[in-house]
Structure 1
Amino acid sequence: MNMTFRWYGRDNDTVKLEQVRQIPGVKGIVWALHHKPVGEIWEKDEIKSEINYINSFGFHAEVVESVNINEAIKLGNHDRDLYIQKYKQTIRNLGEFGVKVICYNFMPIFDWVRTDLYRLLPDGSTALFYEKNIVDSLDPQKLIQQYSTASNLTLPGWEPEKMEQIKELFAAYQDVTEEKMWENLKYFLHEILPVAEESGIKMAIHPDDPPWSIFGLPRIMTGRESMQRLLSISDSPSNGLTYCTGSLGVNPENDTVALAKEFALKSPFAHIRNVKLFENGDFIETSHLTSDGSIDIKGVMNELSKIKYEGYVRPDHGRHIWDENCRPGYGLYDRALGIMHLLGLWDAYQSVRQEGKTECTQSTNT
């Protein structure tokens, strides 16, 4: 298991790499060029500068999250081939500097959605919260206003240039069905996967968050059936998944332990976090401890341990604890705690298996 930490860059994150270096077991930084407009080529000098900075702290920079996809590709309109060519060049450029995994998503317009960025938990910490009734009834433009006033930092998938075109984007998606989205994803993958293979990069699609339609927009990466369908598009070794317990787990029909068992080997990247589900469809982020939420984190880590998972792992959204002023869901302290919990489970499971093998060997020898 290759433990990593997501970081938003020198100018767009409250967390410093000097601090991340003090978390035991972290090998790499998950990064992106967050200042780049969606769809534009990531130039070699920009990539080199960021990777050199990350490397200077002793971390690898082998995972990028995300190279966001221009809406023209998701819509399948007349501009998609232009943006696919740019995406291909970005893949080539990243491969030249040793990137191994690109995490991406295919969600229309929005990335992850929450209704409250700082919902109070019983222990006094705060966390990201999703209230189903609000999303079901709210004008998305009001939610955008709430996000923009809550934080002066750019949220993933909520780029300012995109928000300025919100009305036009909703109109463009009016006649786009889930099947049309699948067609457009298939077209995209058939174009880029050969380039990814040549560049030594695995593409790892992230589940939709949450994994159901919101604001009337189609969402297609939602659970086991969609994960199987994604993999059936191409048998390329570069066609893979990002296994995310939190995104998948907020739908109680998704068994995250079973999904780990079935899809871990097809997932070069894994996000491990816990959420607490409520019967009315609401959910809130919690600590990584299994008993604090609704996801069997212990079971997930056990499945990864069984196969000696060699992919990249990061803790996902954390709580805001100890009065930390940070990007919503992406502070230092709780994600550091999450890393230690995940590594503790990993070490324990690996130790038990190693002891079991030793006992078997000794028994055989005697």
Structure 2
Amino acid sequence: MRETWRWYGPFDGITLPQITQTGAAGIVTSLHEIAYGEIWPQALIAERNAEIKAAGFTWDVVESLPIHERIKKGEGDLETLFANYRQSMANLAAEGIKTICYNFMPVLDWTRTDLKSPVSGGGTCLRFSAPKMAAFELHMLGRDAARDDYSADTIAAADVWFQASDEAMRADLLRSIMSGLPGAFDRYDIPQLREVLATYDGISRDDLRSNYKRFLQEIIPTAQELGMNFCVHPDDPPRDILGLPRIVSNADDIAWIMDAFDAPENGLTLCSGSLGANPINDVPDIARRFGDRIHFAHLRNVAKDPDGSFEEAAHLGGDTDMVALVRELLNAQAKRGVTIPFRPDHGHDLLMDDQIETQPGYPIIGRLRGLAEMRGVIAALG
């Protein structure tokens, strides 16, 4: 497996020379400064690629080439958006970048309620608290239908949290939920979030699937022509939130996607943390089942609570058997004769990590610990 590292370019407080010290060989990045739906200019791709090469790396994976919300909603004339997406693909391929990780999550990417939750022994981690998310939906957004999405005990805990909270705590909760969106676009306050959520009113799970299938039909043939691999990232968290359907949350969802356009180029980003947060998922079994379509892997671990809450665990310390998972990934790449790139995902903030301003969940020391642990597992199994 090939070691890579996610780098946020101009938005990242971690520099390429610092990443060199991790031992990773490849970079995973995106042009986060470009608005969703716009064409990625080849000149800008070439400039970023040259910067990465000058530091001694290769640009192995694009994460992500974002999908405009209108495509997810199937809204209006989409031909220009599809054409722009295909042109961005062609511009990336012209620079030798052939793997694209993306997601089909409506409105938000990964969602957490706490960015600095303490962990045993020191340090902090990302956490998703079901009661705090319920408090946000019920009391801050005023989405009363959310009462159907949480247990009575979770709603009671949400009421207690909200009644004890002040404006600063509520503002921090909103900031945490918005922090999963990378780059410079689409941060919402409460009125804006209500407005964008309203644009999804009436869009069902089946509707979202239909719009996703159209996306695959528009895009995968171009990927085939360009020799590119597309790999969808699972939902994070792998459950409906904010009244929005999530359709990449379990093995059945993945099977539907693979069948919606049955071609090797239509593949999966195996994110062990996202899938691992769903109690029904056996992550090593998912890797075994879909090994012929995994083009990229995010390796991290989570520890789950019975109420649906979870937090980022140490890479070898959560609920997923990471040794079994890595064994399945090594088997998959051996069968296919390929090398699967992976990156250590969401690490704990450790030691001096709080002194570097970077994206939440992406510290250098915490991820380096995860990379070292995964490197050891791979070496032992290899």
TM > 0.5 fold call: yes
Inter-CA distance 219–144: structure 2 relative to 1 (3 Å threshold): farther
Counterpart of 2:381?
349
Q: Does 1:252 align with 2:250?
A: no
Partner of 1:361: none
2:114 aligned with 1:116: yes
Aligned mates of 2:179, 2:92 — CA distance in 1: 23
Q: Which amino acid aligns with 2:376?
A: G
Per-residue CA distance 1:50-103 (angstroms, 9 max, x = gap): 000001111110200001111000000104222111111111111111112110
Equivalence for 2:17: 18
Residue 223 of structure 1: how far off its partner (Å)? 0.7
| Matched-pair contact (CA < 8 Å) for 2:32–2:182 | no
Secondary structure of the 1:129 match is strand
1:200-349 aligned at under 5 Å gives the runs 200-289=227-316, 292-307=317-332, 308=334, 310-325=339-354, 326-349=358-381
Structure 2, unaligned runs of 5 or more? 142-166
- Distance in 2 (alpha carbons) for counterparts of 1:265 and 1:315: 21
How many angstroms apart in 2 are the aligned matches of 1:168 and 1:80?
Answer: 21
Is residue 5 from structure 1 mapped to residue 5 from structure 2 by the alignment? yes
Which residue of 1 is the match for residue 196 of structure 2?
169
Matched residue pairs, number? 345
AA aligned to 2:366 is D
How many Å separate the matches in 2 of 1:267 and 1:147? Answer: 34
* Residue 301 (structure 1) shift: 0.9
Determine the C-alpha separation between the residues in 2 that align with 1:264 and 1:145.
42
Q: CA deviation at 1:212?
A: 0.6
Instruction: Evaluate the alpha carbon distance shift between residue 272 and residue 76 of structure 1 in structure 2; reply closer, same or farther with a 3 A threshold.
Output: same
Structure 2 distance, partners of 1:221, 1:17, is 32
Cα contact 2:110–2:235 (8 A) shared by 1: yes
For residues 239-258 of structure 1, the C-alpha deviation after alignment (integer angstroms, 9 at most, x for no partner) is 11111100000111100111
Report the CA distance shift for 1:310/1:189 in structure 2 as closer, same or farther (over 3 A).
same
Distance in structure 1 (CA, Å) of the matches to 2:114 and 2:207: 31
2:6 maps to amino acid:
R
Partner SS for 1:173: coil
* Corresponding letter in the other structure for 2:172: Q
Structure 1 counterpart of 2:265, which letter? S
Runs of 4+ in 1 over 4 A off after TM superposition: 140-145, 147-151
Question: How far is the alpha carbon of 1:144 from its aligned partner?
Answer: 9.4
- Correspondences of 1:22-171 after superposition (within 5 Å): 22-24=21-23, 26-139=24-137, 145-146=171-172, 155-156=180-181, 160-161=185-186, 163=188, 165-171=192-198
Identical-residue share of aligned pairs (%): 36
Aligned CA distance change for structure 1 residues 158 and 21 (closer, same or farther; 3 Å): closer
In the superposition, relative to structure 1, how do residues 69 and 76 fare at CA in structure 2: closer, same or farther (>3 Å)? same
Verify the 8 A CA contact 2:32 2:184 in the aligned structure 1: no
Shift of 1:265: 2.2
**In structure 1, what is the Cα distance between the partners aligned to 2:343 and 2:203?**
33
TM-score, with normalisation over the residues of structure 2? Answer: 0.86
Q: Structure 1 length as normaliser, TM-score? A: 0.89
Q: CA deviation at 1:279?
A: 1.6
CA distance in 2 between counterparts of 1:276 and 1:161 reads 29
1:15-51 CA distances to partner (integer Å, 9 max, x unpaired)? Answer: 1110111122x12000100111111110011100000
C-alpha deviation, 1:157, in angstroms: 5.3
With over 3 angstroms needed to count, the CA separation of the structure-2 counterparts of 1:64 and 1:104, relative to structure 1, is same
Preserved contact between residue 111 and residue 158 of structure 1 (Cα < 8 Å):
no
CA displacement 1:133-178 (0-9 Å, x = unmatched):
2213313769995367569x97435854463753332111010000
1:110 touches 1:157 (CA, 8 Å); kept in 2? Answer: no
Q: Which amino acid aligns with 1:5?
A: W
Pick closer, same or farther for the CA change 1:55–1:154 going to 2, 3 Å: farther
Q: Distance in 2 between matches of 1:316 and 1:84?
A: 30
Q: Which amino acid aligns with 2:344?
A: P
Aligned-partner Cα distance in 2 for 1:17–1:56 = 10
Q: Between 206-215 and 73-82, report the one with greater CA deviation.
A: 73-82
Aligned-residue Cα RMSD (Å) equals 2.1
1:133 counterpart SS class: helix
The 2-side partners of 1:159 and 1:179 are apart by: 31
SS at match of 1:268: strand
1:3 maps to a residue whose letter is E
Code of the residue aligned with 2:374 in structure 1: it is L
Change (3 A) 1:223 1:270: same
Q: Distance in 2 between matches of 1:149 and 1:232?
A: 37
